[in-house]
Amino acid sequence: MQMNLLPLFLLLTTLAIPVHSWIQYPSDGTATMTHYTIPKDYIAACGCTGASTHYPTAAMSQMAFGSSAAYGPGCGRCFKLTLLNTYTPTPPFFPDVTKSVVVKVTDLCPIGGAGWCSATADKPNKSGQYINFDLAWPSPAIPDDFFPSNASLYGYTDFGVWNVTYQTVDCLSEWAGAKQAAALGSVADGSSVCCPANPSGSANDTCPSYSDQNGIPPDTTTSGASLVNTQLIPPLYYLFVLVVYFSIPELL
């Protein structure tokens, strides 16, 4: 019996292409928070102006940020983050004060590293969370004693990773940098790449998403740089599969 295996072959090879699905998150929830250092006046992945670093900012974990190559839909959004507890030490530390900070997302926290930013839509990070906010700290905008600690009990003060609650907030009324247009990113002189002042989620004021799967942005840093158009990858892939298929006589 001669069976045409082509449809099955195409189906199986399609399933082998890694599926990219961004994390859709509610406007309020729980997350983890880590911290990282970013030089003052540094321009991070969103291309927000250097002035943004004078106020509280954070990088957002890749699959929630919505882009793996540059700026994404997370850029410019403001969140109120409230510390809950830290559980890496034994016993877990529950502070007796409630500390919050309102951050603007200016950077991408890529998958990899210690794994806190590695959650995918089907797999949370080690703390069971789908979002990690990597707070720019120390920062001139956040007190050095922002993170509660108990040095006499633990012998150190920096726990590194916290469980937090997050709440989507209006940048214009809640973020400390809102009074400075340049920090918000709402400058029309081209010096902010994709840093909406107060993104609403509408395509008109939200940064596009970039990835190897749906295309990476033009490289604006080098003139005349030629980039592979990654949107051509799926069609080229099918062509490749067909060529392989028809060159294996046993399959026909």
Cβ at position 239, least distance to ligand NAG in Å: 33
# residues contacting ligand NAG (CB under 6 A): 20
Residue 153 in contact with ligand NAG, rule: CB under 6 A: yes
Radius of gyration of the chain (CA): 22
CA distance 37 to 52: 14
* Among 65, 116, 166, 210, interactor with ligand NAG by CB under 6 A: 116
148 vs 12, 31, 86, 162, 165, CA distance in Å? Answer: 52, 18, 10, 11, 16
Residue 59 touches ligand NAG, criterion: CB under 6 A: no
Among 5, 84, 182, 233, binds ligand NAG (CB under 6 A): 84
> Which residue's CB is nearer to ligand NAG, number 149 or number 191?
149
Q: Which of helix, strand or coil describes residue 102? A: strand
Residue from 2, 4, 152, 221 binding ligand NAG (CB under 6 A)? 152
Residues 6+ apart with CB under 8 A from 101: 56, 80, 81, 135, 142, 146
What is the SS3 string spanning 136-158? Answer: ECCECCECCCCCCCCHHHHCCCC
- For residue 36, the minimal CB distance to ligand NAG (Å) is 15
CB of 119 to ligand NAG, least distance (A): 5
Using CB under 6 A as the binding rule, whether residue 119 contacts ligand NAG is answered as yes
Chain contacts with ligand NAG (rule: CB under 6 A): 30, 84, 87, 114-116, 118-120, 123, 125-128, 150, 152-153, 163, 202, 204
